[in-house]
Each structure stands twice: as C-alpha cells, then as structure tokens.
Amino acid sequence: MVDKKLSGAGLRGQSAGETALCTVGKSGSGLTYRGYDVSDLADNTTFEEVAYLLFNGELPNQGQLDEYKVMLRNQRDLPDGLKDVLKLIPKDAHPMDVMRTGCSFLGNIEPETDFSHQNQAANRLLAAFPAIMCYWYRFTHEGVEIDCTTDEDSLGGHFLALLHGKTPSEQHRKVMDVSLILYAEHEFNASTFTARVCASTLSDMFSCVTGAIGSLRGPLHGGANEAAMDMIQKFSSPADAKVQMAGMLERKEKIMGFGHAIYSESDPRNAIIKAWSEKLAQENGDTSLYDISVACEEFMWDSKKLFCNADFFHASAYHFMGIPTKLFTPIFVCSRLTGWAAHVMEQRSNNRIIRPSADYVGPEPRKVSPINQR
Ligand SMILES: CC(=O)SCCNC(=O)CCNC(=O)[C@H](O)C(C)(C)COP(=O)(O)OP(=O)(O)OC[C@H]1O[C@@H](n2cnc3c(N)ncnc32)[C@H](O)[C@@H]1OP(=O)(O)O
Ligand SMILES: O=C([O-])CC(=O)C(=O)O
C-alpha cells in the first residue's frame, strides 16, 4: 500500500489530531484496528469481538466475550415510546433519517447523563440499531409489528432474522459478520470526524452519533453502496456496463463505489467483500450481477486507475442476501457506531474543543448603508 500524495481542499493531508484506534493506508498495511490487520480480524474474529476491541483496547477472552454478548442480547429490544415514534415515520422516508431519528429519540428517553455511562450508551445503541431499522421497515412496508428480540447469537444474524422474519443461513450470518467488521472503523473519515467535533464540545454520545449518521448519509461517503447498487442494476451485461460507464465518465459523472480520499491503489476491504459477493452469487445460481460488477471494476481501473472502495462489492453482496437497497447505508450505521463511539471516548479522554481557522476570502471591511439606499 503506497501513501497517497495528499494536498488541496477538504483538509486533505492535514493531521487533525491523534488516534490509537486505526491506521488507514499506511505503507505495508492497508487498514488496522488497534494494531490488528482488518483481514486478520475478518478471518479470525467476530463483530462483537471487534466492538469489544474498539471500546476496550484489547480483544476479549472467551469469558469476557460471552459476558459481553449476553449484555448486548439483553438490550436488543426497543422501548414502546421509540416504537411509537418509528411507526409515525412515513414509508417513503429515507431509512438513514429513520436511524438518525431513532438514535436521537433514544437519547431523549435513555440519556447519557454523565460520561461514566459512555460505554453503556454505546452498547445500547449497538444492540438496538438493528431493531430500529427493521421495526420501522417492516411496519411501514409490510404492516407487521415485529418482535424485536431473536435467538440469534450475533448482531449480524439478529439483523437478518429481524429483516426476513426467519432464521438466516450460516453463510449469510458469516457474510453479515464480516461486513460489520469491515465497516467498523476508519480513522478520521467524514462521519467519525463529525462525531469527534461534536464530542469536543463535551456533548453527549447520542448527539455525537446522530450527527455522524447525518454525515454518513451522503453519496460521497456511506451512501455510495446504495448508489452503486442503483447503477449496476441498470447495466444489462458486462459489455453494456463498460459502454455506459464510458458515457458517465465523458459526462464527468462520479461513479459511486470507486476512489478514495486516502487509499491510492486499492481499498483493502474490497478484496474481502468481493470474494464473499462471488460466493453468494454462486450460491444464488446467477452470477450476472457479480460479473457486471467485475466488469465495472476492470473498466474503472483501465480507464481512470480508480479502484473499488469498500462500498462497491457490498452492493451486490447485500443484494444477494435479499437486503433491500435502501437499507444498505443503515447497516453501515450499525457497524460504524463502534468506530464513532470509540472515537468519542478517545476525544473525551484528552479533549480540547476542535475549532480550526478559516482563510478569509470575503469583501474588505465596509459600512452598512441605510436600507433605502441599498
Ligand atoms: C466507505 C466510504 O465512504 S468510501 C467512499 C465512498 N464514496 C464514493 O464511492 C463516491 C465516489 N468517489 C468519490 O467521490 C471520491 O473518490 C471520494 C469522495 C471518495 C474521494 O474524493 P477525493 O479525495 O476528492 O478524490 P481524489 O482526490 O482521489 O480525486 C482525484 C480525481 O479523480 C476523480 N474521481 C475520484 N473518484 C471518482 C469517481 N468515483 N468517479 C469519477 N471520478 C472520480 C476526481 O473527480 C478527481 O478528478 P479531478 O482531478 O479531475 O477533479
Ligand atoms: O475513510 C474515508 O474517508 C471513507 C471510508 O472509507 C470509510 O469511512 O470507511
């Protein structure tokens, strides 16, 4: 992995603080969480272990993990007041707005009253997010008031069971778990930086996470997985994908799911989710969407030297598991909550309010003229 030459607008290349949580795009290792390579974590741990690692600094032993999972399981259900609020949100609302409201409302009825409760607040959100998404989705789209508890061992399996109303396959549980690990943490990305800025004012955990959800929603960040899905579904074949993408580039359109602010040659998460997407395509007995995705990847590299970021093959992988496109970015929320909350805790542990300066480019000083002379 080569360090990208960083310059220009968007604070690119400027250090905005220290973190012990994550490295992104450092030579020799693409992505690490507290020193562990993300591929090692994806192969050898579960999402709950990664959440524990991010919140507590070390991977849990078996006893700690068992205790942690029981604690999360006991908090998966939603209070009636929150269910009532979710039922009021219309079917055509953006599910990221649902997540934002769900998070914010929970902060009203179960507030983080002081920072000694920060872990409880983070774990409550971690346990409740799958139900916030699925309760609203199934009520508004299917007219069902679901039971927000399941017997599923993992949060990934729990989400799939809530969404589909049936026990997920072992392979689908595994893919969800890997996906949640891949999306968990990514240093000072836009949404995490939002959370840290909010934390630096000594605000509460729910406000920090609510703000971060708003930043993740945009198509230049987390929203790219949905935009990528919308795009690949329009292509009828690999050859058609290449022709249509050439047109998009000619029209100077951004191709969602490609490029990255920090990585220069590849996003280490891509190979991992791409391999799972291929397995799911084979399991489904129809590889056409996967083949189209591979054609997109080849075309973008050959024509622009742009590579798939974490979002691109997540689109087909989620689609193969029967997940509606509009829920792709909310799943990202369920995972990235761990990174956001860990950064909030880190910011609080050595805080100074984040308040950069701006280069002024406006008019020279001038006097207000009376309104009838303007
Ligand atoms: C999990 C995540 O959040 S990963 C990111 C998800 N976002 C997307 O997939 C959206 C599509 N990608 C992009 O918009 C960008 O690549 C970003 C926002 C991720 C990074 O933006 P930047 O750091 O400004 O990109 P970068 O400096 O590498 O851009 C270099 C050039 O490549 C172009 N470029 C970068 N990505 C793309 C793309 N996906 N499609 C077309 N052109 C692109 C830029 O327009 C720029 O061209 P220019 O010099 O003519 O203006
Ligand atoms: O780091 C970034 O800018 C975006 C990203 O890939 C992420 O947040 O996962």
| Same domain flag for 284 and 343 | no
- Residue 28, pLDDT > 80, answer no
- List the CATH number of the domain containing 268: 1.10.230.10
Mean pLDDT for the stretch of residues 205-233: 96
Q: Tell the residue number behind the tokens 């396959």, with chain if given.
A: 169
Q: Is residue 165 part of a domain?
A: yes
> What are the residues whose beta carbons fall under 8 Å from the beta carbon of 73, sequence distance 6 or more?
127
Tokens at 180, concatenated: 């949640």
- Residue 158, pLDDT > 80, answer yes
- Going from the Cα of 282 to the center of ligand 1, the distance in angstroms, rounded, reads 31
| Same domain flag for 168 and 201 | yes
| Same domain flag for 135 and 254 | no
pLDDT the model gives residue 231: 97
Q: How many domains does the chain have?
A: 2
Q: Is residue 17 part of a domain?
A: no
- Going from the Cα of 186 to the center of ligand 1, the distance in angstroms, rounded, reads 17
Q: Is residue 368 part of a domain?
A: no
Query: Does ligand 2 come within 6 angstroms of the Cβ of 310?
Result: yes
> Which of the 8 DSSP states describes residue 22?
E
Query: Does ligand 1 come within 6 angstroms of the Cβ of 25?
Result: no
Catalytic residue among 177, 267, 311, 343: 311
- Going from the Cα of 52 to the center of ligand 2, the distance in angstroms, rounded, reads 21
Q: Is residue 15 part of a domain?
A: no
User: Which ligand approaches the C-alpha of residue 246 most closely?
Assistant: 1
Query: Does ligand 2 come within 6 angstroms of the Cβ of 261?
Result: yes
User: How many CA within 13 A on the CB side of residue 347?
Assistant: 29
> What are the residues whose beta carbons fall under 8 Å from the beta carbon of 148, sequence distance 6 or more?
76, 77, 78, 131, 134, 135, 162
* Residue 27 confidence class, pLDDT cut points 50, 70, 90: confident
Q: Which has the minimum average pLDDT: 18-27, 69-78, 167-176?
A: 18-27
| Same domain flag for 67 and 162 | yes
- Residue 2, pLDDT > 70, answer no
User: Which ligand approaches the C-alpha of residue 13 most closely?
Assistant: 1
Residue pair 226/328 in contact (Cβ under 8 Å)? The answer is yes
- Residue 54, pLDDT > 60, answer yes
- List the CATH number of the domain containing 212: 1.10.580.10
* Residue 180 confidence class, pLDDT cut points 50, 70, 90: very high
Q: Which has the minimum average pLDDT: 27-36, 39-48, 342-351?
A: 27-36
Among this protein's residues, is 260 annotated catalytic? yes
Q: Is residue 357 part of a domain?
A: no
| Same domain flag for 111 and 253 | no
pLDDT the model gives residue 13: 86
Q: Please report the atom of ligand 1 found closest to the CA of residue 311.
A: 1
State the Cα–Cα distance between residues 256 and 174, nearest whole angstrom. 26
Each residue of 234-257: pLDDT tens digit? 999 999 999 999 999 999 999 999
| Same domain flag for 271 and 208 | no
CB neighbours (10 Å) of residue 57? 11
Catalytic residue among 221, 260, 314, 319: 260
Q: Is residue 356 part of a domain?
A: no
Measuring from atom 45 of ligand 1, which residue has the nearest CA?
254
Measuring from atom 7 of ligand 1, which residue has the nearest CA?
220
> What are the residues whose beta carbons fall under 8 Å from the beta carbon of 266, sequence distance 6 or more?
1, 30, 307
Residue type, 167: T
Q: Is residue 13 part of a domain?
A: no
Which residues does residue 263 pair with via DSSP β-bridges, in sequence order? Answer: 3
Alpha-helical segments (H) within the chain: 38-44, 47-56, 62-73, 80-88, 95-109, 118-142, 155-164, 170-182, 190-200, 205-216, 224-234, 238-250, 268-284, 288-304, 310-320, 328-349
Residue type, 57: G
Work out whether the CA dihedral 178, 183, 185, 187 comes out positive or negative.
positive
Q: Which of 283, 305, 321 is the last residue of a domain?
A: 321
Each residue of 342-369: pLDDT tens digit? 999 999 999 999 999 999 999 999 999 9
Q: 116 lies in which domain range?
A: 22-220+325-349
Q: Is residue 1 part of a domain?
A: no
Mutate which of 186, 213, 262 for ligand 2? The one with the most ligand atoms within 8 Å of its CB, which is: 186
* Alpha-carbon torsion, ordered 101, 54, 225, 85, to 10 deg: -10
State the Cα–Cα distance between residues 86 and 78, nearest whole angstrom. 10
User: Which ligand approaches the C-alpha of residue 22 most closely?
Assistant: 2
